[in-house]
Amino acid sequence: MHGLREQSGRLARAVAEGAQSLPDDVRLVLCPPFTQLASVHGIINAEGPATPLRLGAQDCHTTSSGPHTGDISAEMLADLGVRYVILGHSERRQAHGETDVLIRQKVEAAEAAGLIPIVCIGETMQERLEGRTTTVLATQVEGSLTDGFTGILAYEPVWTIGSGTIPPIDELERTVSLLHGLLQSRLKTDDIRVPILYGGSVTPAQAPTIFSIGSLGGVLVGSASLEAESFLRIAEAASFRLTSQPLSGPYRS
């Protein structure tokens, strides 16, 4: 919950300007608050069809319309030019009590509206200490995704958020490999075309280490995205990674 009109507009314009030098393979999805979607959409559109910027939202409702005062439907988001929507973020799961069942219903609504869902999963510190990471992630993948899911999966270990640290790189590599296996099991195919992102204290300093994991498809950036300079430095780290080996994909634009 960050950004009034002036701040959001200034940030989006600065990112748009800096993104002009990024290679074609890099995609930046800007997910402002609902109140800033229209203005940020205008800024992205002004960059023309070649821009690497895409518009995303931070949540949606399970239904397309009806008596749900205060909620936003996926169709409303699509009508504003939104292409992506974040679902199941740890803050939504914790503060709003969102369950895997509810998140799956939101995924269904997003897919029906033509949006690309970015579904967040991750374990808490308590779950990690109890050795339940695999069980927690398996439950979330099984419960949150639809049978034909073709969106994006974002792994955000809750215990890293805001901590300034990331999991040890070997542990993160094992977790990403685990998620690939869980996706194969959930979607019943070996041909997994669901990019996996990492989220949790993603900073410019941490980005090169994170991107050293070749099976990752990108990152879900939190507080570092509130400053154009730090956000663009993370994008540049992705760009540098692409010069040696493509990130995992594929992506729909």
89 included as an active-site residue? yes
Q: Is 91 a catalytic residue?
A: no
- Could you write out the DSSP letters of every residue in 7-33? HHHHHHHHHHHHHTTS-TT--EEE---
Closest CA to 16 of 58, 47, 37: 47
The two structure tokens encoding residue 75: 């169709």
Distance CA 108, CA 61 (A): 10
Structure tokens at 118: 């970015």
Please list the residues that pair with 29 across neighbouring strands: 54
Q: Which of 89, 98, 123, 127 is catalytic?
A: 89
Dihedral of CA atoms 5, 56, 214, 239 in degrees, nearest 10, equals: -50
Q: Among 193, 198, 192, 191, which Cα is nearest to 234's?
A: 198
Q: Which residues contact 131 (CB under 8 A, 6 or more apart)?
A: none
Active-site residue (options: 156, 180, 229, 236): 156
Catalytically active residues are: 89, 156
